[in-house]
């Protein structure tokens, strides 16, 4: 069976081992377009940052997997001026440890909601930071009964209910979809079986106006184990909209879905696609797909890998007002420098008809290994995100950065 996303994340981090001799390919246009807003040091400010959310004033909020006062991860705020403030340091006990997902920002209450991968009962928690940034523990997962190891950020409905997934736990140890009401009461909406329904959901859910939930599983379905796209209706019935069964159609979707209007959704797969992309010839460099409500899946773009293209997309896509989509790849891009020959990752743009443009190739000093949740876009079209490593922090290969890409 496919390794868990947590293991895949360690592969990304291992790319840092290439940083023995730094040879940076300087591309003047890109250097002007991408700015590093903050470099994590691996100390009290954290390391291995996750995805971002942005408030109306332009402040950015996120989490780090490590670092903080107990080295169990943090919640941070980066002001528009570039000042980073730690809002909470996890202690690793009841309060949670090692957040592996970004945050949900409630624009009305200004509260932040999130999950931790460990802590609580050692299988993860759901937490809230109120507007005073006091942590309120909403739920501690028990393991088999209600899920374990939440990997994705949360979504919220108008009634204040939170929805999310866990990578493991549940009656079959293959992950669950859960609901948490405003009072903190948890309901398991679905237990995955690793059979015809998939296993190991690690991505944020998508909810439509009728209350149906959509998402992906990173592994399953027997006998192919390539992952799935699913729909969970309001009665609790799960339907598999698509089963990734072959190299050609993509494998292991680790990112969530982008709502597509008339088209149901768009997404990425971490592997599959182009069979001749170096150095991932045996698994493919991943692809972007379009999913219709009737289950028809179409490949919009297959990544070609370094030196001219990205490889291994793991996050969600975002869209601008013109319908262009943006995302990141964990590797690929320039095959020179500290990440040779696999590349340090890219930011890419995909237009409506599937034409791709590499907007930036990371070089280690400005970040390495972007992964996880979607980029953030502001009204001017600037993109914000994080890389899991890179920068100058005191970690093996850097502790990660927060970046801004300006068109």
With tokens 């090692």, the residue in question is 98
State the pLDDT confidence band at 222, using cuts at 50, 70 and 90.
low
User: What would the pLDDT profile of 334-352 be if each residue is shown by its tens digit?
Assistant: 998 899 999 999 999 999 8
Task: Specify burial of residue 324 (Cβ count, 10 A radius: 0-12, 13-18, 19+).
Answer: middle
* 280 domain residue, yes or no: yes
- Given a contact cutoff of 8 angstroms between Cβ atoms, the answer to whether 124 and 150 are in contact is yes
pLDDT in tens, 223-235: 667 899 999 999 9
pLDDT at 50 over 90: yes
Q: What are the structure tokens assigned to 311, written together?
A: 């490889």
Q: What angle do CA 363, 376, 141 make, to 5 degrees?
A: 100
- Residue 249: how many CB atoms within 10 A of its CB? 18
pLDDT over 90 percentage in the chain: 81
Cα 295–350–327 angle (5° rounding)? Answer: 85
Residue 26 DSSP code: P
Is residue 286 over pLDDT 80?
A: yes
User: How many CB atoms lie under 10 A from the CB of residue 109?
Assistant: 12
Task: Give the per-residue pLDDT at 196.
Answer: 85
Are the beta carbons of 167 and 127 closer than 8 angstroms?
A: no
Domain that holds residue 268: 11-405
Domain count, the chain: 1
Cβ neighbors of 187 (< 8 A, separation 6 or more) are 178, 179, 180, 181
Both structure tokens of 364: 């280690």
Distances in Å between the Cα of 116 and the Cα atoms of 103, 106, 167, 208, 284 are: 11, 18, 12, 26, 31
Average confidence score pLDDT of the chain: 90
Q: Using the predicted structure, report yes or no on whether residue 167 has a pLDDT greater than 90.
A: yes
CB-count burial class (<10 Å; 0-12, 13-18, 19+) for 100: buried
344 found inside a domain: yes
Q: Quick one: average pLDDT of 305-330? A: 96
> CATH number, domain at 171?
2.120.10.30
Average pLDDT over residues 263-275: 93
Q: Does residue 23 register a pLDDT over 60?
A: no
Residue 17 pLDDT greater than 90, yes or no:
no
Residue 166 to residue 200: CA distance in whole angstroms: 7
How many residues are there in the chain? 407
Indicate the pLDDT class of residue 94, thresholds 50, 70 and 90.
very high
What integer pLDDT is reported at residue 6 of this predicted model? 45
β strands within 23-111, DSSP E: 34-39, 47-54, 60-66, 74-78, 84-89, 104-105
Terminal CA-CA length for the chain: 41
User: Is residue 105 domain-resident?
Assistant: yes
Contact 23, 363 (CB under 8 A): no
What is the rounded distance in angstroms from the CA atom of residue 301 to the CA atom of residue 355? Answer: 8
Q: What are the tens digits of pLDDT across the range 365-386?
A: 999 999 878 999 999 999 999 9
Residue-wise pLDDT for 179-216, tens only, equals 999 888 999 999 999 888 999 999 999 999 999 999 99
Res 11 pLDDT > 60: no
Q: Please report whether residue 361 resides in a domain.
A: yes
Residue 1 lies in a domain: no
Q: How many CA atoms lie within 13 A of 178 on its CB side?
A: 37
Residue 85 CB neighbours (<10 A) = 13
Residue 5 lies in a domain: no
Q: Which pLDDT value is given to residue 158?
A: 94
| Cβ(59)–Cβ(87) below 8 Å | no
Give every strand in the sheet of 135-140, ordered side by side: 104-105, 112-116, 125-129, 135-140
Report pLDDT for 15.
39
**Residue 207 β-bridge partners:** 213
Q: Are strands 310-311 and 331-332 parallel, antiparallel or unpaired?
A: antiparallel
Q: How far is it, in rounded angstroms, from Cα 206 to Cα 396?
A: 35
Where does the pLDDT of residue 2 fall: very low under 50, low under 70, confident under 90, or very high at 90 and above? very low
- Considering Cα of 327, then 329, then 335, then 336, what sign does the dihedral take? positive
Query: CA 66 to CA 48: how far, in whole Å?
Result: 6
Distance of CA 375 to the CA centre of its chain: 9
pLDDT at 7 (0 to 100): 37
Q: Side by side, which strands form the sheet with 297-302?
A: 258-260, 263-269, 287-291, 297-302
Token pair recorded at residue 97? 């440890």
Model pLDDT, residue 223: 67
């Amino acid at each position: 069976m496919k390794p868990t996303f947590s293991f895949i994340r360690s592969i990304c981090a291992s790319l840092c081992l290439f940083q023995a001799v730094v040879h940076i390919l300087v591309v003047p246009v890109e250097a002007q377009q991408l700015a590093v807003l903050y470099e994590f040091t691996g100390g009290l400010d954290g390391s291995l940052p996750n995805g971002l959310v942005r408030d109306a004033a332009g402040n950015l909020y996120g989490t780090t997997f490590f670092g903080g006062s107990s080295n169990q991860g943090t919640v941070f705020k980066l002001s528009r001026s570039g000042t980073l403030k730690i809002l909470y340091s996890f202690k690793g006990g009841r309060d949670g440890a090692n957040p592996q997902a970004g945050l949900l920002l409630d624009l009305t209450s200004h509260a932040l909601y999130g999950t931790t991968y460990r802590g609580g009962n050692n299988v993860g928690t759901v937490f809230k930071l109120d507007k005073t940034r006091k942590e309120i523990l909403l739920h501690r997962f028990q393991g088999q009964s209600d899920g374990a190891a939440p990997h994705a950020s949360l979504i919220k409905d108008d009634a204040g209910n939170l929805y999310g997934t866990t990578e493991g736990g549940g009656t079959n140890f293959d992950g669950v979809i859960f609901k948490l009401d405003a009072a903190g009461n948890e309901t398991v909406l679905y237990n995955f079986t690793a059979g015809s329904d998939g296993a190991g959901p690690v991505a944020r859910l998508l909810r439509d106006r009728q209350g149906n939930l959509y998402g992906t599983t990173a592994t399953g379905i027997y006998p192919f184990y390539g992952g799935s796209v699913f729909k969970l209706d309001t009665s609790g019935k799960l339907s598999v909209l698509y089963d990734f069964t072959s190299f050609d159609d993509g494998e292991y979707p680790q990112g969530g879905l982008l709502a597509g209007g008339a088209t149901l959704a768009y997404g990425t797969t971490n592997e599959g696609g182009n069979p001749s992309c170096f150095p991932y010839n045996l698994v493919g460099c991943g692809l972007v797909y379009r999913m219709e409500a009737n289950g028809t899946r179409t490949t919009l773009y297959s990544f070609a890998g370094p030196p001219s293209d990205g490889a291994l997309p793991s996050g969600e896509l975002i869209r601008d007002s013109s319908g262009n989509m943006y995302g990141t790849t964990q590797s690929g891009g320039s095959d020179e420098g500290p990440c040779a020959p696999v590349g340090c990752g890219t930011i890419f743009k995909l237009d409506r008809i599937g034409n791709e443009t590499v907007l930036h190739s990371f070089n280690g000093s400005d970040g390495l290994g972007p992964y996880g949740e979607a980029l953030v876009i502001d009204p001017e079209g600037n993109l914000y995100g994080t890389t899991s490593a890179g920068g100058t922090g005191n970690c093996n290969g850097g502790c990660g950065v927060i970046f801004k890409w300006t068109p």
